[in-house]
Structure 1
Amino acid sequence: MTKWIDLLADGRHHVLITGASGVLGRELALRIARPGVRLSLWGRDSVALDRLAAKCREAGADAWSCALDLADMDAALNALQTQDEAIPFDVALLVAGLGNTLPPGATVETPDQIIRLAQTNFVAPAAMAALLAERMAARGSGQIGVVGTAAASHSLPFAAGYSGSKAGLARFADALRLAVAGRGVSVSLISPGFFADRAALSRPGEIAAGTVADQMIAAVMAGKAELVVPGRFLLLRWCDRLLPRPLRDRILLSLRLP
């Protein structure tokens, strides 16, 4: 398999990473950082972003941080367009997202939590991907990687807002991929299972964020439509689709957190 380092050797050197202050965004940045690569690192944690940018510069990259909250979509889209006009993005890795924490004693997420999940997991990455896809199509080249989740394929009763927002993003990414087909732009959906920093792995089946990062970069640079990692989640997806609904419902309800 062609390594991602070879895939970056084709002149596509300006890379946007949102969610760069999180574990996956950090792993992506550290792997991409090298002489000749310009990194625009976005995230909410300005301290973590500055540390990461410094490490990327040590590796020879031209790295800059941009601390913002994607809940402010006007600011995010203005910043995105301004940066793309100054130095066009060749690759955009839209990683930022929120996980789900069901409030104690609650049956479902609160309305405020639903709004926040929808904004961060669907509205923000979809709007940013749309803006970049249009501009990249006009230039005739570009790669966009959108991070979803394997959970988007399942109606999780304890994470309706999370799985629902990510399901919307998955459908949008696939439709956007078709919309720019033949225009030199690829859109890749990355659907990982549970992942964490290697030192923090604790749940059964959890994988290292570095493993996701390696496979994600290769998939995006190759223009792959979707990457499901680890691959066993594809089997779970088909089980969800093929099982009779009553049986599927019993299985999903059995996963409800105590």
Structure 2
Amino acid sequence: MRQRILITGASRGLGAAIARHYAGPDVLLVLWGRDHERLEQVADQCRDAGAMVTLRLLDLVDPAAALAAIDAEESAGAIDIAVLAAGLGDIQGRHERSEDPARMVRLGLVNFVTPSAMAAALADRMTARGHGHIILIGSAAAFHALPFAAAYAGSKAGLARFAQALRIGMAPYGVRVMLVSPGPIDRPEGRQVAAPQRLLMQPADVAARIVAASARGDAHLVLPWPFAALRLVDRLLPAGLRDRLLRSLRPK
């Protein structure tokens, strides 16, 4: 029987890399994305690897549509693993004193509200079956108050706390929840971050590490390792020094 794996944000970047990594003869991939042409390209690559693939075009800015789609997917067959990888990045322009409110609403929906609601809906279905795995893709930015990306960091922080709470709540029912908090990934958004180039990760490498951590049953994956250390540094620095350091990280 084929394992059924849902992956959002599968048309590009990390979501596409995760889809390609999971692709194989014993897998049915349910790929969601916003870019039809790119999604078809990823689907063809996965089919070449032996996977069965179904596609859905959906923008997660609409939580109601996403929840209806979850119901439809579950009606077609139980989802064994859900990788909620879709997300939006944003960096405040140098001439902006604060972030655009409409942009903040969109980031809040796509990065936090919709994936959290989807995870809750999936968890409810999985608890009835007594098994399942939900992987939420957050960001290392969730643990730092980035003044030039307040909406992004804030939305990912909300997702991180939700993932922790959901994991604790679902454990007695056989449903596993894992949070992934990656640093910059080699894509246009990631290359804007003021971080050493040696810390810039390739999507395929990140995908492989996520799948391996999932197989081990990890609760939280932070990568690369220096970003785990930075969480401690952020907490230990005096507030004034930390604030100056965070302001200095604004990308050019």
Shift of 1:82: 1.3
Shift of 1:165: 0.4
Distance change in 2, residues 1:257/1:201 (3 Å): closer
Following the alignment from structure 1 to structure 2, what is the Cα–Cα distance between the partners of residues 212 and 140? 29
TM-score by length of 1: 0.91
Give SS of 1:158's match: coil
Question: What residue identity is the alignment partner of 1:53?
Answer: A
Following the alignment from structure 1 to structure 2, what is the Cα–Cα distance between the partners of residues 252 and 34? 43
State which of 227, 243, 246 in structure 1 corresponds to 2:240: 246
Runs of 4+ more than 4 Å apart:
200-203
- Mean alpha-carbon deviation: is it higher for 213-222 or for 130-139? 213-222
Following the alignment from structure 2 to structure 1, what is the Cα–Cα distance between the partners of residues 251 and 47? 43
Shift of 1:107: 1.9
Aligned residues: 246
Shift of 1:256: 2.7
Aligned to 2:180: 190
Following the alignment from structure 1 to structure 2, what is the Cα–Cα distance between the partners of residues 130 and 24? 22
Indicate if the aligned counterparts of 2:140 and 2:182 stay in contact, CA closer than 8 A.
yes
Following the alignment from structure 1 to structure 2, what is the Cα–Cα distance between the partners of residues 218 and 184? 19
Matches within 5 A, 1:119-198: 119-196=109-186
Following the alignment from structure 2 to structure 1, what is the Cα–Cα distance between the partners of residues 144 and 243? 10
Following the alignment from structure 2 to structure 1, what is the Cα–Cα distance between the partners of residues 129 and 218? 20
State which of 57, 65, 84 in structure 1 corresponds to 2:55: 65
State which of 58, 78, 81 in structure 2 corresponds to 1:88: 78
The percent identity for this pair of structures is: 49
Instruction: State the superposition RMSD in angstroms.
Output: 1.6
Aligned to 2:36: 46
Question: What residue identity is the alignment partner of 2:214?
Answer: V
Aligned to 1:232: 226
Following the alignment from structure 1 to structure 2, what is the Cα–Cα distance between the partners of residues 30 and 201? 22
Following the alignment from structure 2 to structure 1, what is the Cα–Cα distance between the partners of residues 127 and 248? 46
State which of 107, 111, 114 in structure 1 corresponds to 2:104: 114
Indicate if the aligned counterparts of 1:201 and 1:207 stay in contact, CA closer than 8 A.
no
Indicate if the aligned counterparts of 1:95 and 1:146 stay in contact, CA closer than 8 A.
yes
Q: Give 5+ residue unaligned stretches, structure 2.
A: none
- How big is each residue's C-alpha offset from its partner over 1:52-87, in whole Å with a ceiling of 9 and x where there is no partner? 112211111111111111112211111111111221
Is residue 2:204 matched to residue 1:210?
Answer: yes
Indicate if the aligned counterparts of 1:144 and 1:220 stay in contact, CA closer than 8 A.
no
TM-score by length of 2: 0.93
Indicate if the aligned counterparts of 2:29 and 2:52 stay in contact, CA closer than 8 A.
yes
Give SS of 1:180's match: helix
Indicate if the aligned counterparts of 2:34 and 2:59 stay in contact, CA closer than 8 A.
yes
Shift of 1:12: 7.1
Shift of 1:104: 4.8
Shift of 1:102: 1.7
Following the alignment from structure 1 to structure 2, what is the Cα–Cα distance between the partners of residues 152 and 232? 15
Shift of 1:225: 0.8
Give SS of 1:71's match: coil
Shift of 1:103: 3.4
Aligned to 1:4: none
Indicate if the aligned counterparts of 1:143 and 1:223 stay in contact, CA closer than 8 A.
no
Indicate if the aligned counterparts of 1:12 and 1:90 stay in contact, CA closer than 8 A.
no
Following the alignment from structure 2 to structure 1, what is the Cα–Cα distance between the partners of residues 113 and 165? 15
Following the alignment from structure 1 to structure 2, what is the Cα–Cα distance between the partners of residues 132 and 182? 16
Indicate if the aligned counterparts of 1:142 and 1:186 stay in contact, CA closer than 8 A.
yes
Following the alignment from structure 1 to structure 2, what is the Cα–Cα distance between the partners of residues 185 and 63? 24
Aligned to 1:7: none
